[in-house]
Protein backbone atom coordinates (compact mmCIF):
# COMPACT_ATOMS: atom_id res chain seq x y z
CA UNK A 1 0.00 0.00 0.00
CA UNK A 2 1.12 3.51 -0.75
CA UNK A 3 0.11 6.78 0.85
CA UNK A 4 -0.51 9.66 -1.55
CA UNK A 5 0.49 13.21 -0.64
CA UNK A 6 1.25 16.54 -2.30
CA UNK A 7 4.81 17.75 -2.93
CA UNK A 8 6.63 20.80 -1.61
CA UNK A 9 10.13 22.20 -1.94
CA UNK A 10 11.42 19.94 0.86
CA UNK A 11 10.66 16.88 -1.27
CA UNK A 12 13.19 17.77 -3.99
CA UNK A 13 15.92 15.46 -2.64
CA UNK A 14 13.63 12.42 -2.46
CA UNK A 15 12.16 13.15 -5.90
CA UNK A 16 15.65 13.51 -7.35
CA UNK A 17 16.67 10.12 -5.94
CA UNK A 18 13.58 8.49 -7.44
CA UNK A 19 14.00 10.14 -10.85
CA UNK A 20 17.68 9.19 -10.95
CA UNK A 21 16.89 5.56 -10.12
CA UNK A 22 14.33 5.46 -12.94
CA UNK A 23 16.76 7.13 -15.36
CA UNK A 24 19.48 4.60 -14.59
CA UNK A 25 17.08 1.71 -15.14
CA UNK A 26 15.83 3.14 -18.46
CA UNK A 27 18.89 4.76 -20.06
CA UNK A 28 21.82 3.73 -17.87
CA UNK A 29 22.59 7.11 -16.30
CA UNK A 30 20.93 9.87 -14.27
CA UNK A 31 19.54 12.69 -16.40
CA UNK A 32 18.36 15.26 -13.88
CA UNK A 33 20.10 17.30 -11.22
CA UNK A 34 18.73 18.26 -7.84
CA UNK A 35 18.51 21.79 -9.20
CA UNK A 36 16.34 20.60 -12.08
CA UNK A 37 13.86 19.07 -9.65
CA UNK A 38 13.84 22.16 -7.42
CA UNK A 39 13.16 24.31 -10.47
CA UNK A 40 10.25 22.08 -11.50
CA UNK A 41 8.65 22.38 -8.07
CA UNK A 42 9.03 26.18 -8.12
CA UNK A 43 8.00 26.74 -11.74
CA UNK A 44 5.44 29.52 -12.15
CA UNK A 45 2.07 28.05 -13.06
CA UNK A 46 2.68 24.77 -11.22
CA UNK A 47 0.47 24.39 -8.14
CA UNK A 48 1.98 21.62 -6.00
CA UNK A 49 -1.17 21.31 -3.94
CA UNK A 50 -3.27 20.48 -7.02
CA UNK A 51 -0.91 19.50 -9.84
CA UNK A 52 1.48 17.02 -8.19
CA UNK A 53 1.37 13.69 -6.32
CA UNK A 54 3.86 11.73 -4.24
CA UNK A 55 3.45 8.05 -3.35
CA UNK A 56 5.34 6.63 -0.34
CA UNK A 57 5.39 3.01 0.75
CA UNK A 58 4.87 1.83 4.33
CA UNK A 59 8.56 2.37 5.11
CA UNK A 60 8.43 5.97 3.90
CA UNK A 61 10.33 5.40 0.67
CA UNK A 62 9.18 7.53 -2.25
CA UNK A 63 8.12 5.20 -5.07
CA UNK A 64 5.99 7.47 -7.24
CA UNK A 65 6.03 11.05 -8.53
CA UNK A 66 3.40 12.40 -10.90
CA UNK A 67 2.33 15.79 -12.19
CA UNK A 68 0.23 17.70 -14.73
CA UNK A 69 1.35 21.09 -16.02
CA UNK A 70 -0.69 23.51 -18.10
CA UNK A 71 0.73 25.38 -21.08
CA UNK A 72 -0.57 28.92 -20.83
CA UNK A 73 -4.24 29.20 -21.74
CA UNK A 74 -4.06 26.50 -24.41
CA UNK A 75 -5.60 23.03 -24.26
CA UNK A 76 -2.14 21.46 -24.03
CA UNK A 77 -1.18 19.78 -20.74
CA UNK A 78 2.19 18.12 -20.11
CA UNK A 79 1.91 15.04 -17.92
CA UNK A 80 4.27 12.63 -16.21
CA UNK A 81 4.08 9.55 -14.00
CA UNK A 82 7.32 8.13 -12.62
CA UNK A 83 7.29 4.86 -10.67
CA UNK A 84 10.29 3.15 -9.11
CA UNK A 85 11.40 0.07 -11.09
CA UNK A 86 9.97 -3.12 -9.66
CA UNK A 87 6.99 -1.45 -7.97
CA UNK A 88 3.76 -2.80 -9.42
CA UNK A 89 0.27 -1.35 -9.46
CA UNK A 90 1.24 2.23 -8.57
CA UNK A 91 1.17 3.60 -12.11
CA UNK A 92 -2.43 2.39 -12.45
CA UNK A 93 -3.28 4.49 -9.40
CA UNK A 94 -1.43 7.66 -10.42
CA UNK A 95 -2.35 7.95 -14.10
CA UNK A 96 -6.11 8.40 -13.45
CA UNK A 97 -5.33 11.20 -11.00
CA UNK A 98 -3.16 12.91 -13.60
CA UNK A 99 -5.83 12.53 -16.29
CA UNK A 100 -8.49 13.98 -14.00
CA UNK A 101 -6.35 16.98 -13.11
CA UNK A 102 -5.47 17.57 -16.77
CA UNK A 103 -9.17 17.69 -17.60
CA UNK A 104 -9.70 20.20 -14.79
CA UNK A 105 -6.87 22.38 -16.09
CA UNK A 106 -8.48 22.38 -19.52
CA UNK A 107 -11.94 23.16 -18.18
CA UNK A 108 -10.58 26.01 -16.07
CA UNK A 109 -9.42 27.61 -19.33
CA UNK A 110 -12.63 26.95 -21.23
CA UNK A 111 -11.63 23.81 -23.15
CA UNK A 112 -13.97 20.85 -23.58
CA UNK A 113 -11.01 18.48 -24.08
CA UNK A 114 -7.27 18.56 -23.62
CA UNK A 115 -4.23 17.35 -25.55
CA UNK A 116 -1.83 15.47 -23.29
CA UNK A 117 1.89 15.33 -23.99
CA UNK A 118 4.18 12.81 -22.28
CA UNK A 119 7.92 12.65 -22.90
CA UNK A 120 9.47 9.18 -22.95
CA UNK A 121 13.13 8.29 -23.40
CA UNK A 122 13.66 6.23 -26.53
CA UNK A 123 15.36 3.57 -24.42
CA UNK A 124 12.56 3.30 -21.86
CA UNK A 125 10.63 0.43 -23.41
CA UNK A 126 8.46 -0.18 -20.34
CA UNK A 127 7.26 3.43 -20.32
CA UNK A 128 6.62 3.29 -24.07
CA UNK A 129 4.44 0.23 -23.60
CA UNK A 130 2.55 1.92 -20.78
CA UNK A 131 1.67 5.10 -22.69
CA UNK A 132 0.62 3.02 -25.69
CA UNK A 133 -1.67 1.03 -23.40
CA UNK A 134 -3.14 4.31 -22.15
CA UNK A 135 -4.01 5.41 -25.66
CA UNK A 136 -1.13 7.76 -26.42
CA UNK A 137 0.20 7.97 -29.96
CA UNK A 138 3.55 9.21 -31.31
CA UNK A 139 3.71 12.99 -31.63
CA UNK A 140 7.30 13.92 -32.39
CA UNK A 141 10.85 13.20 -31.26
CA UNK A 142 13.46 15.47 -29.77
CA UNK A 143 17.11 14.68 -30.33
CA UNK A 144 19.67 15.75 -27.77
CA UNK A 145 22.67 16.95 -29.73
CA UNK A 146 26.18 17.57 -28.43
CA UNK A 147 29.52 18.87 -29.63
CA UNK A 148 32.72 18.63 -27.58
CA UNK A 149 35.20 21.48 -27.20
CA UNK A 150 38.91 20.64 -26.86
CA UNK A 151 40.08 24.24 -26.48
CA UNK A 152 39.42 27.80 -27.61
CA UNK A 153 37.19 28.27 -30.65
CA UNK A 154 37.54 31.23 -33.00
CA UNK A 155 34.31 33.26 -32.89
CA UNK A 156 32.53 33.39 -36.26
CA UNK A 157 32.72 36.48 -38.42
CA UNK A 158 29.51 38.48 -38.14
CA UNK A 159 27.51 39.00 -41.35
CA UNK A 160 27.46 42.60 -42.61
CA UNK A 161 25.01 44.76 -40.68
CA UNK A 162 24.68 42.35 -37.75
CA UNK A 163 24.93 43.46 -34.12
CA UNK A 164 24.65 41.23 -31.06
CA UNK A 165 23.08 42.26 -27.75
CA UNK A 166 22.87 40.29 -24.51
CA UNK A 167 19.79 40.03 -22.34
CA UNK A 168 20.51 42.09 -19.25
CA UNK A 169 18.17 44.91 -20.32
CA UNK A 170 14.39 44.68 -20.54
CA UNK A 171 14.46 46.26 -24.00
CA UNK A 172 16.55 43.40 -25.38
CA UNK A 173 14.54 40.77 -23.51
CA UNK A 174 11.30 42.09 -24.97
CA UNK A 175 12.76 41.94 -28.49
CA UNK A 176 14.04 38.43 -27.73
CA UNK A 177 10.57 37.40 -26.59
CA UNK A 178 9.06 38.57 -29.87
CA UNK A 179 11.67 36.74 -31.94
CA UNK A 180 11.10 33.57 -29.91
CA UNK A 181 7.31 33.72 -30.23
CA UNK A 182 7.31 34.43 -33.96
CA UNK A 183 10.23 32.15 -34.77
CA UNK A 184 8.66 29.14 -33.05
CA UNK A 185 5.03 29.79 -34.03
CA UNK A 186 4.81 26.70 -36.28
CA UNK A 187 6.73 24.30 -34.06
CA UNK A 188 5.21 21.18 -32.47
CA UNK A 189 3.49 21.90 -29.17
CA UNK A 190 4.44 25.57 -29.14
CA UNK A 191 2.09 27.83 -27.18
CA UNK A 192 2.38 31.59 -27.48
CA UNK A 193 2.68 33.46 -24.19
CA UNK A 194 2.98 37.09 -23.25
CA UNK A 195 6.24 38.71 -22.22
CA UNK A 196 5.52 38.76 -18.48
CA UNK A 197 4.88 35.00 -18.35
CA UNK A 198 7.86 34.28 -20.65
CA UNK A 199 10.15 36.35 -18.43
CA UNK A 200 8.77 34.99 -15.17
CA UNK A 201 9.38 31.36 -16.13
CA UNK A 202 12.96 32.02 -17.14
CA UNK A 203 13.69 34.26 -14.21
CA UNK A 204 12.50 31.53 -11.82
CA UNK A 205 14.96 28.97 -13.23
CA UNK A 206 18.21 28.64 -11.28
CA UNK A 207 20.13 27.96 -14.52
CA UNK A 208 19.10 31.22 -16.23
CA UNK A 209 21.90 33.67 -17.10
CA UNK A 210 20.65 36.60 -19.17
CA UNK A 211 24.23 37.28 -20.22
CA UNK A 212 24.04 34.09 -22.30
CA UNK A 213 21.15 35.44 -24.37
CA UNK A 214 22.31 36.64 -27.78
CA UNK A 215 19.88 38.75 -29.80
CA UNK A 216 20.97 39.37 -33.39
CA UNK A 217 19.87 42.63 -34.95
CA UNK A 218 20.34 42.87 -38.70
CA UNK A 219 20.45 46.41 -40.04
CA UNK A 220 18.92 47.52 -36.75
CA UNK A 221 16.01 45.05 -36.80
CA UNK A 222 15.63 42.08 -34.42
CA UNK A 223 16.21 39.02 -36.60
CA UNK A 224 17.42 36.00 -34.63
CA UNK A 225 17.99 34.73 -31.13
CA UNK A 226 20.00 32.21 -29.13
CA UNK A 227 19.30 31.67 -25.44
CA UNK A 228 22.01 29.84 -23.55
CA UNK A 229 21.79 28.60 -19.96
CA UNK A 230 23.61 26.53 -17.35
CA UNK A 231 21.17 23.60 -17.69
CA UNK A 232 23.92 21.02 -18.28
CA UNK A 233 26.79 22.71 -16.47
CA UNK A 234 26.73 20.96 -13.10
CA UNK A 235 26.37 17.39 -14.43
CA UNK A 236 27.86 17.47 -17.94
CA UNK A 237 30.18 20.48 -17.73
CA UNK A 238 28.53 21.75 -20.91
CA UNK A 239 26.77 24.85 -22.10
CA UNK A 240 23.19 24.57 -23.29
CA UNK A 241 21.41 26.32 -26.13
CA UNK A 242 17.84 26.31 -24.86
CA UNK A 243 16.46 28.29 -27.81
CA UNK A 244 17.66 29.09 -31.32
CA UNK A 245 15.19 31.03 -33.44
CA UNK A 246 15.31 33.02 -36.67
CA UNK A 247 12.39 35.12 -37.85
CA UNK A 248 10.91 33.78 -41.11
CA UNK A 249 11.81 36.87 -43.14
CA UNK A 250 15.49 36.54 -42.17
CA UNK A 251 15.93 32.81 -42.80
CA UNK A 252 18.38 31.59 -45.41
CA UNK A 253 21.01 34.20 -44.50
CA UNK A 254 23.16 32.05 -42.24
CA UNK A 255 22.00 33.64 -38.99
CA UNK A 256 21.22 30.32 -37.32
CA UNK A 257 24.67 28.94 -38.15
CA UNK A 258 26.31 32.15 -36.96
CA UNK A 259 24.50 32.08 -33.60
CA UNK A 260 25.25 28.39 -33.16
CA UNK A 261 28.97 28.89 -33.75
CA UNK A 262 28.86 31.97 -31.54
CA UNK A 263 27.45 29.78 -28.75
CA UNK A 264 30.20 27.18 -29.31
CA UNK A 265 32.90 29.85 -29.05
CA UNK A 266 31.31 31.40 -25.96
CA UNK A 267 31.01 28.04 -24.20
CA UNK A 268 34.61 27.14 -25.04
CA UNK A 269 35.76 30.53 -23.72
CA UNK A 270 33.96 29.75 -20.44
CA UNK A 271 35.95 26.52 -20.19
CA UNK A 272 32.98 24.26 -20.87
CA UNK A 273 33.52 20.76 -22.22
CA UNK A 274 30.92 21.11 -24.95
CA UNK A 275 27.57 22.49 -26.01
CA UNK A 276 24.22 20.66 -25.86
CA UNK A 277 20.83 21.42 -27.39
CA UNK A 278 17.56 19.70 -28.23
CA UNK A 279 15.97 19.69 -31.68
CA UNK A 280 12.58 18.51 -32.86
CA UNK A 281 13.26 15.91 -35.56
CA UNK A 282 10.09 17.10 -37.32
CA UNK A 283 11.07 20.78 -37.15
CA UNK A 284 9.50 22.90 -39.88
CA UNK A 285 12.95 24.38 -40.53
CA UNK A 286 16.02 22.24 -41.45
CA UNK A 287 17.48 22.63 -37.95
CA UNK A 288 18.66 19.04 -37.51
CA UNK A 289 20.74 19.24 -40.67
CA UNK A 290 22.23 22.53 -39.49
CA UNK A 291 23.35 21.06 -36.18
CA UNK A 292 24.80 17.94 -37.77
CA UNK A 293 26.68 19.98 -40.36
CA UNK A 294 28.14 22.09 -37.54
CA UNK A 295 29.65 18.95 -35.99
CA UNK A 296 27.01 18.07 -33.41
CA UNK A 297 26.02 14.44 -32.83
CA UNK A 298 22.93 12.83 -31.37
CA UNK A 299 23.44 11.47 -27.86
CA UNK A 300 19.83 10.78 -26.88
CA UNK A 301 16.28 10.74 -28.22
CA UNK A 302 13.15 11.64 -26.29
CA UNK A 303 9.82 10.84 -27.91
CA UNK A 304 6.74 12.92 -27.19
CA UNK A 305 3.55 10.88 -27.06
CA UNK A 306 0.19 12.58 -27.25
CA UNK A 307 -3.42 11.80 -26.46
CA UNK A 308 -6.64 13.76 -26.88
CA UNK A 309 -9.20 13.30 -24.12
Domains of the chain, start order = 3-135 (3.40.630.30), 145-301 (3.40.630.30)
Residues of the chain with pLDDT under 50: none
Which pTM value belongs to this model?
A: 0.95
pLDDT value of position 281: 87
Nearest to 212 by CA among 250, 164, 162: 164
pLDDT value of position 284: 67
Please list the residues that pair with 273 across neighbouring strands: none
Write out pLDDT tens, residues 126-136. 999 999 999 99
pLDDT value of position 1: 86
Contacts for 168 with CB less than 8 Å, ≥ 6 apart: 210, 211
Write out pLDDT tens, residues 248-288. 999 999 999 999 999 999 999 999 999 999 999 887 677 88
- Tell me the CA distances in angstroms from 226 to 63, 105, 167, 210, 255, one per residue in order: 38, 31, 10, 11, 10
What's the rounded Cα separation, in Å, for the pair 187 and 54?
32
pLDDT value of position 10: 97
pLDDT value of position 180: 98
Amino acid sequence: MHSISRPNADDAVAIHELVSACNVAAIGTPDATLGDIADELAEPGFDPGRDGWLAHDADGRLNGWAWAFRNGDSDLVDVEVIVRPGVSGLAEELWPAVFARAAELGAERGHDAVTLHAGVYRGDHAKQAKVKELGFEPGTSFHRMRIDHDGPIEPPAAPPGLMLRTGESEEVRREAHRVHQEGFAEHFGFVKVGYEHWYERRQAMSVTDWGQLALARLDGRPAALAIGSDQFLSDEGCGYVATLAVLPEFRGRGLGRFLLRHAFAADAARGRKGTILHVDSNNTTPALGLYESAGMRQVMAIDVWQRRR
